[in-house]
Structure 1
Amino acid sequence: MKKPLQPPVRPAFDPSPRTFDQSLMSSDATDFERVPPEGSGFVKIGGPLTEASDPRTIKGTSGAPGNGNRLFYLRVIDSRKWHYSETFALFLDFFVQVLTISFTPKATFHDEVAAKASRFFSSGLMLCYFIDMIIRVLGLRLALFRSHSNIADLLCLVAMVVLLGSRYVLGASEYWLTLGYLTVVAFRLILKPRARTFSKKLHKFRTNGDHIRVSIESLRASLARIPGISALSIEMMETDLVIICGRDEGDMTRDELMNFLERALHYRPPTLSATEFLSHLRDIDASSSTLAYGIADVVRSTLWHWSTQTMDLIFCFFVVCINASVSPALAVFLAKLSDAFDTIDSSNPDESTLKIGVVGVLALCVPFVLGDYAVGYFQSKMISKATESLQSSLLNIILHQDTQFFAERSEGDLNNLFSSDVARVNALWQAVFWNLLNPLMAVVFGFGYALYMDVSIGIMSFGFTAVLLTSGPQGFAAQRSKEFGSKNAYVAAEFQNAVGCEKVVRAYAIQDPLITRFKKTCATLRKNQFSKDFWSSVVQIYIESAMYIFVAIMTASLAMKVWHGELSSGEFFGFITLLARVSNPVTTLGGFMRVAIGNASSLQRIDDIIVGLGPTSGDDDGDKDMPALPKMEHDLRIEKLVFKYDKTSENYILNELSANVSRGSYTCVVGPSGCGKSTLLACLMQFQDADGGCIRLDGHDIFNFSKKSFMDQTAVVFQDGGILNGSIYDNIRYGNVTASSADCEEAARLAECHFIKELKDGFETVVGQHATCNLSGGQAQRICLARALCRRPSLLLLDEATSALDPETEASIVATLERLSSKMNMTIISVTHRLSTSMNADQILVLNEGRVAEEGRYDDLVKRGGLFFEMVHKVDKSEEEEKTVSMEKADLVSIGKSFRRPTGSRKNTDTIGATGEEPKQLHDSALALQQFTKTLSSRVVHDVGDGARPAGTTSWYRYGNRLSHRSRKTSGGDDAFSSRRSGNNSVEGSQWYNHQDNRSAATSAASEEERNKYFVL
């Protein structure tokens, strides 16, 4: 009897928030004195500075005495309100000093009311400066001296105190002291954000998972797609989501996500385990909240990429400097022209000065025009070469990465990296040159001339421009740009997935639900794009309006100086011309910031690959130093092979697996899902490093020899084949790059690629994405087989090579393989789930729970009545059921032709999620949630060190710089575990997790199929 519909039991929940003080004081202590230097870009992770995963839980402080108070001090001064208030006070101080110097005569400066008022105003603000610095020193202590920005900020405060005190004592020099005070305040305005960035790392970024930000919209969409979820469960989860996050859109933190999932597990359908429920959330949009690239990062990265074109870069700087010198030269000659007429009626002009001015103005046309053409030529040449180098490096580094790299990133993400991000970076580089370097040189030369003509005008111009370009909403706009880049990559992956599965879409007529889902994703992207574009425009508006105000103030100041007799009329017009010409480059810099902020996320994503992963030549050099493996003559032996993806787990995918494969034999590896078939093949191909045991070729442990020498005598054919762009000749020759056309044709003959002769262009036929003809699945697979045979391998590995083919084509290819095995004396190991392909195999290895459960020939294994017999019986039974179902479908189709059911919506009859769980189930839910947390963290932060380190030990993580390292050691016994190796299989391998149903106590080994399915990219 069907149970009545019952609402889920809502777990107990205390919505009472903590106070501000409790929130700040709830973290454990951290070792501040071990914080790395600011310039290194390192952030401490994995240390003792941790908080409860539940933000409502209050923990007491531990560790060194007073560390909790130090955290409180730092969080107060680094809060937005405090920081912006302090910055606003500094800006007011700077602006008041600018007005005082601009409109107060130099001769009587000390006695003027404006000077006295500015002194008292600065003295009042000095109290705020002292409070801020005292709290910062109490919080940082010795760590303050590891930050260049904090040291410089402290020295600037000391200089401000000295200069302000001297203004009260040394009245005769107060004008110059005020000018010095203004300069120091400008320096503090520039240093303040950098000092805050350093201290924020000590309390804000605690662990890898704390960097994660998850889109609430993507989480909501993933929950709605869970099979069997009821509308009532969705409604209750929506309520909890709003209660926990306090909002129904935007992003949520890692802690908020974990708190929500703890409650959401209670509402899951009763047919789903905790692991299965969480597996449906594998596509949520999770991104890193690490610091986004700012203007300085963009410039630094751009110059690093351009450094490969040294000579072109030098020529560019040279011609840019020539162009930049035109504006101050024009101001000089205009001043000469103005001074040539010393009276209003121009009755007695200075002819020599007039000639110099006229000739100079006309002569400037030559370097200006030639310089512009030279700049255009050299910058185009340099940027095109740098882009070419970027594209080549990107593909080179990606193709040399290991399996884990591709498991952590979706195909759409990598495609978007090359197709979209490279184009945006190229546009960014154009902006860096035309809207940054060119205007920046014009500003430096222009204000340099102003500094030469009048020190006060020059200092105020430099100071105001520096403050203007380093302050404002640039940081906020950069973060919006980074968020947009992440969302854009997510949308691109969704689009590519829908287009790539177009056959499935059309076959099941699911265009409408996919489009509806995509529209929701695009709606989220639209909000992010609006935020990015709006704040980028605010940056430019901020700079343009501020520069207009500054030019107006300077013009009025120059007029006052002429009135007081401090400047001549010619110098006045020269200054006005200079300000007019230099203000345009400054506003152009604002335009650059808008472009830079809009495209900085693309540059950061590319740098994470090129700079973070770095070159892999070191691995190749290490492989070259190892001896070559002799060619296989007798057999391949696998001895007690051990492997697990999660190094902290006790569940092994391969558990002391042993087997022997003779030379020239055809061996099939079969077994139930998750038994370790594909993992065994991955270890044979050395895509994964085993944790123990060894693989011997004629008694030689292959791990003690170079990988290249083993792969030279090994070939592999995958399930999806892998047709590359190019001709059929090219695809076959990839198996042996030194093969001649005759060798390729012979390999095609052995693979029975007779269809090639029927093609119009024969072996020159273009295949792949630029194909001039369509190949069937069997034809493509035979070309891949020919590519493998072109290598003349001793060992041929097949990874479900025929599973995607129809039975007739599959039987034909299997027959070909059987002939090749005996004809070429080639050892073939085929991993397959189709038992029909193993009927004529010389040996069948039946795997179960990571071990060889049975081995022998087909008939012998069937007669034993063991696991293989059960598998064969199950296959026969399923085939009979399929025939019955197909006959029933045919009858229904014939009936449906004359009588059709009216369309309409089907009522939702799904049941509500589980109302309660046993203690064992709660334990399994907690374990599944913990594994999901680890996997989610591995998506956005890659903590890869130089070698193995114990789990849980303190480490340093560098943003935008991931070290890819893999090494081998030949020491150790034959059965030694993975201590012979170091690198990404020690701790970093733990980023792969076994997702198994822990509800079943009998299931001890993790399911490999489920792991591949649930692993989050």
Structure 2
Amino acid sequence: MKELLKQVKQYKKDSILAPVYSALEVVMEVIIPFVMALLIDEGVEKGNMNKIQLYGIIMIVLAMISLFAGMMAGKYAASASSGFACNLREAMYRNIQRFSFSNIDKFSTAGLVTRMTTDVTNVQNAYQMIIRIAVRAPLMLISSMVMCFVVNADMSFIFLGAIVFLAAVLVIIMLRAMKIFNVAFTKYDDLNASVQENISGIRVVKSYVREDYENEKFKKASGNLYNMFKKAESTLAFNNPVMMLVIYACIMAICWFGAKFIVVDKTLQIGELTSLFSYVMGSLMSLMMLSMIFVMITMSVASMRRITEVLREQPDLAEPFAPVELMSNGSIDFDNVHFRYHKTSEEEVLTDINLHIKSGETIGIIGGTGCGKTSLVNLISRLYDVQQGSVKVGGVDVKDYDMKFLRDQVSVVLQKNVLFSGTILDNLRWGNENATEEECIEACKWACADEFIERFPDKYNTVIERGGTNVSGGQKQRICIARALLKKPAVLILDDSTSAVDTATDAKIRAAFQKCIPGTTKIIIAQRVSSVQDADRIVVLDDGRINGVGTHDELVANNEIYRDIYESQTKDGGDFDRPRN
């Protein structure tokens, strides 16, 4: 709770004013029945028009104050809760942006989306109820009880007994509902995961005609959520019948005993009986609201816990005490590197990696699927930290660099190319937000992207749809390469980022690199031998270890894995990941 309340920030004033106005509203509502009793007993019963006018004006003034206080309480409660929710989402989003890849691996994408939407909304609703209804309801309950004893102590015991009975029943109902709600909200992750997976992969779903299967999977996730909430709401449905039973029982008891006190004992007046009705109804409704508050808070406890998990998550990669912001060159050194994605995992992804790359060199990396190619280059821009050994860029350990500076100097075109909603120019300027249109065009020429961009009606102002669905895989790759070139990096890493372009275009892009960024260290991960055979050196990875390093000719002659890959692609066109004899 403390972690969440830190996000109230600039809405503290609104959070204080909402309960203050709620309290004022309650005070006015409690006084009105008392004045109404005086109006009836001293005005109507005695035929005194002056008293009727006086108490009538007082009631109108009190009602106006109550109305104003209620409006202001609602206004400030809405402002405080909405602002609180906004701050929560921003705080979560900021922290997520600080996460390393290992942190992100702990949370599913669907889980993070649920936390920032459904869970925050639950907390927002609970907060709004706490600062308004949770003040109003108990204050109204206590005030009404006090006023009942002031009016008639004997009659108040009826009211007190009703409250005890109703409270006991509501507690039983709430405890049963709480257990169900705690489980129900975890089902949202399954539902969101199903939606996200289906929509992002809709082309695959349709191409394999798997709509019915996906519909059934979603129906199952939705059905589980429906069953949980149906069970919880069915339990809560008893609230209203029990409430009405108690209210009508109180009315009958008050009418019965009230008539006796008025007619026989002469100890109660008609106006006082009327005010008792008002106080009893107000207090019982307050008790009902309190029960709903507890249910809402219970529903949001799981949400609070899930939000706090994200807010408290500390990035596994910490900035150094005195970060370096100067890179002398693009040399890269792997010294006895051992790496695993999870610290507790026994199996290493990379083992005993020793590799030294000179500044300006072009290095090819090749190997079978899952051999650790992407994991190796992820260490250069410090997307993960090694468990043993060190990775140095420009002679400095990557752990000693300012991470923003390091990643500006190490430009990566990831294996999974991502374009964002906006124009082509907007996407290109992710590489350099200050790049001129001329610089963007030049980078696109180097990446062989200008040839298709120029054919678009709006050219560089063409709007990219969400996820880049209106461009092909090869076009997307070339835009991403151009975006990386705009950073003018010391190290450029292409992680299988020309797999969707033809070999001729691939060759043009590599030739352009030699002209436009000759001093940049270039690391090319590829599945095709043709993409790396002209590199200064080629690294062959196998099962997380370096199996061989050399030129194309040297490896064809001396390395079995590389030779098998080369022959499978040039002779019989097979899959180079096939098992070797």
Is 1:579 matched with 2:273? no
Note closer, same or farther for the CA distance 1:585–1:763 as it changes in structure 2 (3 Å cut): farther
Secondary structure at 1:724's aligned position in 2? coil
2:176 pairs with one of 450, 462, 476: 476
Question: Are 1:530 and 2:230 matched, yes or no?
Answer: yes
Gap change, CA 1:326 and 1:406, over 3 Å in 2: same
> Is 1:775 aligned to 2:468, yes or no?
no
Matches within 5 A, 1:295-444: 306=8, 308-340=10-42, 346=45, 348=46, 353-423=51-121, 425-426=123-124, 436-444=134-142
Tell whether the 8 Å contact from 2:365 to 2:526 is kept in structure 1 after alignment: yes
**1:504 maps to which residue?**
204
User: Matches of 1:443 and 1:301 in 2, distance apart?
Assistant: 31
Deviation sequence 1:49-87 (CA, Å, 0-9, x none): xxxxxxxxxxxxxxxxxxxxxxxxxxxxxxxxxxxxxxx
CA–CA separation in structure 2 for the residues paired with 1:867 and 1:606: 48
Kept in 1: contact 2:18–2:131 (CA 8 A): no
Q: Could you tell me how far apart the structure 2 residues matched to 1:652 and 1:568 are?
A: 86
Structure 1 residues 571, 613: CA separation in 2 closer, same or farther (over 3 Å shift)?
farther
1:76-95 paired onto structure 2 within 5 Å: none
- In 2, Cα distance between equivalents of 1:401 and 1:551: 60
For the residue of structure 2 that corresponds to 1:684, the secondary structure is coil
Whether 1:760 and 2:483 are equivalent positions in the alignment is no
1:868 aligned partner:
562
Relative to structure 1, is the Cα distance of residues 534 and 818 closer, same or farther in structure 2, using a 3 angstrom cutoff? farther
Per-residue displacement from partner, 1:8-61 (whole Å, max 9, x unpaired)?
A: xxxxxxxxxxxxxxxxxxxxxxxxxxxxxxxxxxxxxxxxxxxxxxxxxxxxxx
Q: Matched residue pairs, number?
A: 571
Q: Which residue of structure 1 lines up, in the alignment, with residue 579 of structure 2?
A: none
Change (3 A) 1:705 1:320: same
Instruction: Tell me the residue number matched to 1:819.
Output: 512
> Using the alignment, how far apart are the partners of 1:739 and 1:448 within structure 2?
72
Distance 1:734 1:544, change over 3 A: farther
Relative to structure 1, the CA distance from residue 629 to residue 494 in structure 2 (aligned partners, 3 Å threshold; closer, same or farther) is same
Q: Name the amino acid aligned to 1:442.
A: M
Question: What's the CA shift string for 1:577-624, capped at 9, x where partnerless?
Answer: 2222333333344455565556665455334323x437x7xx99x627
Matched residues in 1 for 2:70 and 2:346: separation?
68
| 2:490 is equivalent to residue 797 of structure 1 | no
Letter in 2 for 1:815: K
In the TM superposition, 1:630-645 aligns within 5 A as 630-633=326-329, 635-645=331-341
SS of aligned partner of 1:736: coil
Whether the aligned pair in 1 keeps the contact of 2:340 and 2:349 (CA below 8 Å) is yes
Letter in 2 for 1:674: G
3-state SS of 1:318 partner: helix
Scaled by the length of structure 1, the TM-score of the pair is 0.51
Give the deviation of 1:763 after TM superposition.
3.0
CA-to-partner distance for each residue in 1:609-646, whole Å, 9 max, x for gaps? 23x437x7xx99x6274231432426211111111245
1:634–1:738: structure 2 CA closer, same or farther, 3 Å change rule?
A: closer
Shift of 1:517: 4.1
Match of 1:573, as an amino acid?
T
Asked if 2 retains the 8 angstrom alpha-carbon contact of 1:539 and 1:593, the reply is no
Match of 2:484 in 1: 788
1:846 is aligned to 540
What's the offset of the Cα at 1:711? 1.8
Aligned identity (percent) is: 20
Q: Which residue is equivalent to 1:183?
A: none
CA–CA separation in structure 2 for the residues paired with 1:433 and 1:314: 8
Tell me the equivalent position of 1:487: 187
Provide the rounded CA distance (Å) in 1 between the counterparts of 2:528 and 2:6.
53
CA distance in 1, matches of 2:342, 2:63: 70
What is the rounded CA distance, in whole Å, between the counterparts of 1:393 and 1:455 in structure 2? 53
C-alpha deviation, 1:693, in angstroms: 0.9
- Listed one character per residue, the Cα deviations across residues 499-538 of structure 1 (whole Å, up to 9, x for unaligned) are 3222222222233333344444444333223213212323
Structure 2: distance between partners of 1:352 and 1:461: 39
Secondary structure class of the residue paired with 2:172: coil
Letter in 2 for 1:862: V
Alignment of 1:54-69 (within 5 A): none
Once the two structures are superposed, residues 795-840 of structure 1 have per-residue CA deviations (whole angstroms, 9 ceiling, x without a partner) of 112222233x14x1x5514531343145321111122333331111
Check 1:862–1:551 CA distance in 2 against 1; reply closer, same or farther (3 A cut): farther
What's the offset of the Cα at 1:659? 0.5
Amino acid at match of 1:669: I
Distance in 1 separating the partners of 2:361 and 2:50 = 101
- CA displacement 1:774-805 (0-9 Å, x = unmatched): 212122212211221121100112222233x1
Alignment-derived partner of residue 370 in structure 2: 674
* Amino acid of the structure 2 residue aligned with 1:329: I
* Letter of the 1:681 counterpart: V
Give per-residue Cα distances to partners, 1:658-679, cap 9 Å, x unaligned: 0011111111112233332222
Closer, same or farther: CA 740–634 of 1 in aligned 2, 3 Å? closer
Amino acid in structure 1 at the alignment position of 2:68:
L
Give the direction of change, closer, same or farther, for the CA distance of 1:414–1:572 in structure 2 (3 Å limit): same
Q: For 2:330 and 2:114, locate their aligned partners in 1 and report how far apart those are by CA, in whole Å.
A: 47
Q: Is contact 1:717–1:799 with CA below 8 Å preserved after alignment?
A: yes
Contact persistence 1:474–1:539 (CA under 8 A): no
1:647–1:577 CA distance, 2 compared to 1 (3 A): closer
Q: 1:698 aligns with which of 381, 390, 394?
A: 394
In the alignment, the residues of structure 1 paired with residue 9 and residue 326 of structure 2 have an alpha-carbon distance, to the nearest angstrom, of 44
For 1:497 and 1:792, the matched residues in 2 are separated by 36
- Are the counterparts in 1 of residues 174 and 291 from structure 2 also a CA contact under 8 Å? no
Q: Aligned partners of 1:836 and 1:559: how far apart in 2?
A: 102
| Residue in structure 2 matched with residue 663 of structure 1 by the alignment | 359
Q: Residue 758 of structure 1: SS of its match in structure 2?
A: coil
* Distance in 1, Cα, partners of 2:132 & 2:397: 59
Deviation at 1:717, TM superposition (A): 0.6
CA distance in 2, matches of 1:580, 1:856: 88
- Structure 2 unaligned residues grouped into runs of 5+: 577-581
Asked whether the 8 Å contact 2:43–2:51 carries over to 1, the reply is: no
Compute the displacement of 1:753 (Å): 2.6
Aligned to 1:961: none
